[in-house]
Amino acid sequence: QVQLVESGGGLVQAGGSLRLSCAASGRTFSTYAMGWFRQSPGKEREFVAAISWSGGNTYYTYYADSVKDRFTISRDNAKNTLYLQVNNLKPEDTAVYYCAANLNRCSGYGCNDRYEYSYWGQGTQVTVSS
């Protein structure tokens, strides 16, 4: 069983920044593929970013086109924590942001299939005002 707890959301003006965190339980956190997804009212949950383990100390990162160059996903395995640095926020980034864990390797390139993620946090709200 893996528990995930997000934090760091809030209200920010367009162009601002936030750092979202996701604290995870689990003895083998370093091997999990971890992802960030978001969901706004009336829309499906969508992929934002993922970081997957490729063996040893090698990790790969993936981003949705809409956030590339503005968002950065990272992890601190010593702290069992996943991060999402979000910069240059836009009103369309307003959503509940969820972190998720995939205890297996992603089957497809990009680790963007939400159905491969077995564990989810409760979400943290990000609201961007114009």
Which region, left, alpha or beta, applies to residue 48 given φ > 0 means left and ψ of -120 to 50 means alpha?
alpha
Place of tokens 């992802």: 35
pLDDT at 74 over 90: yes
Residues with Cβ within 8 Å of 130's Cβ and at least 6 positions away in sequence, in order, are 14, 91
Return mean pLDDT, the chain.
Answer: 95
Token look-up 């089957």 returns 107
pLDDT of residue 94: 98
Check residue 105 and give its pLDDT: 83
